Structure 1
Amino acid sequence: KGFSKQSSLQVVRITVPDAPASLINQSALVDKHNNIVTYYVTSQTNHTSTVLFDINHGLICYKPDDQDTCFLRQMETSDYENMHVLLNESQQQVWLVGNETQRHTEFLGVLAGSHVKASTLQEPLHTLCQQGPVYWTRKADGPKERLIYFCIDICFPSNVCVSVCFYYLPE
């Protein structure tokens, strides 16, 4: 299988050149026609997580590198702003200058009893998540001594890097 050469698809590679201790290795596939941006974030152990921004449906889907589980959350204003920068980007590559990059951490709690059937999801979320369970998440203050499930670091062309960490909320 190869990639079709549609003008609406664009791959953007994002690196942080002066931060070798926390090297961000990711690429973004930009589908302007369908308003979808898909990030592929590769860890230092060479595993790749997927973060899909479905702008039309206002959803973000996180799929960690080592499992079939998907985690959903509603997009917020800042998410739309970051995605529109990429959708309007004409360059093939975007570099972030590390010393100008703002970094922060977001905690998302996995909601108990929030299992979603993948068959009810619209494309492309359905295809991404069809092999495993899907759960809703919401922003939270922090894990407060709860075990952090996993974290994904995402950098945007607006010089903002976010470490998104998931944990399970009590029932």
Structure 2
Amino acid sequence: MMGHRLLICWNVPEGTGCCLNRGSSANIPKKVICVSLSASLLLILLTLGLTGQLGLPYLHSKSSQAVRIIAPDPTGVLLLNQSAVVDQQNGLVTFTVTSGMNLTSTVLFDIKHGLICYQPLRQESCFLRTMETSDYEDVDSLFQASAHKQSDLQLSVNETQRRTEFLGVVAASQADMSTLEEPFQVLCRDRTIHWTKRADGPGKQRLVYFCIDICFPNNICVSVCFYYLPD
């Protein structure tokens, strides 16, 4: 009948349907057309995936470098074994610190936002503070070490400088989790986050309730000790 077109359809073995208008492309082998359509669809999906249009998670593994730091104590008997994952692209350094008592804590440095987050073991809270000049200098030594692919660093006892920092936990200073960046939310999931500030020391009336030791490739080890400030 006039005004109508006849469509020829078939199913290839894979179950993909293909149709042709008689008189236009009927002379083209059906397998060639189906293979071409499948290849084009696959190319489009790969392009969307690489550009992030499909919502695929972006992996930062290529931009991260793991650095293991071993620092002996002043007596040379105990070893502080810690690992740091340095993400140059996102300005993140994640420390995993294991003390001599086999207790592990995590410390996250966010260079872009100038924040440090401490997640001590056996604590139901995380502790947050702003970075200072000395913190940027220490973390920069890690960036340099990872850039030179130094994956295993042994610090010398005689050359290592040690310092102690006291941080007071500010009363009624719980941070709003939703305002923090994703790395902090992941690290402190199901925990409360409290702001801290540097202090001269806890004083006789206040006892230090935990400390975290962190060592850097520039031969500086920092013992960060926390206590609650008076209400």
What TM-score results when the alignment is normalised by the length of structure 1?
Answer: 0.92
Higher strand share: 1
Q: CA deviation at 1:20?
A: 3.9
Superposed structure 1 runs of 4+ greater than 6 Å apart:
none
- C-alpha separation in 2, matches of 1:17 and 1:148: 23
- C-alpha separation in 2, matches of 1:43 and 1:53: 19
* Alpha-carbon displacement from aligned partner over 1:38-57 (angstroms, at most 9, x marks no partner): 11001223221001000011
Q: CA deviation at 1:81?
A: 1.2
- C-alpha separation in 1, matches of 2:110 and 2:214: 16
What TM-score results when the alignment is normalised by the length of structure 2?
Answer: 0.69
- C-alpha separation in 2, matches of 1:107 and 1:67: 18
- C-alpha separation in 2, matches of 1:62 and 1:96: 23
- C-alpha separation in 1, matches of 2:166 and 2:63: 32
Query: In the comparison of the two structures, how many residue pairs are matched?
Result: 168
- C-alpha separation in 1, matches of 2:224 and 2:114: 18
Match of 2:163 in 1: 104
Match of 2:208 in 1: 148
Letter in 2 for 1:95: Q
Q: CA deviation at 1:68?
A: 3.1
| Residues 140 and 98 of structure 1, relative CA distance in 2, 3 Å threshold | same
Percent of matched pairs sharing the same residue: 59
* Alpha-carbon displacement from aligned partner over 1:64-112 (angstroms, at most 9, x marks no partner): 0112310001000111111122112221222211110001110000001
Contact 2:119–2:126 (CA<8 Å) still a contact in 1?
yes
- C-alpha separation in 1, matches of 2:151 and 2:220: 19
Matched, 1:162 2:218: no
Name which of 61, 66, 69 aligns with 1:14: 69
* Structure with larger Rg: 2
**Greater mean alpha carbon deviation, residues 55-64 or residues 118-127:** 118-127
**Correspondence 1:41-80 to 2 at 5 A:** 41-80=97-136
Match of 1:120 in 2: 179
Q: CA deviation at 1:123?
A: 1.7
* Alpha-carbon displacement from aligned partner over 1:110-162 (angstroms, at most 9, x marks no partner): 00111112222112011111211100001100110202120001101110101
- The runs of 5 or more residues in structure 1 that have no matched partner are none
Higher relative contact order (CA 8 A, sep 6+): 1
Contact 1:107–1:143 (CA<8 Å) still a contact in 2?
yes
Q: CA RMSD for the aligned pairs? A: 1.6
| Residues 116 and 17 of structure 1, relative CA distance in 2, 3 Å threshold | closer
- The runs of 5 or more residues in structure 2 that have no matched partner are 1-58
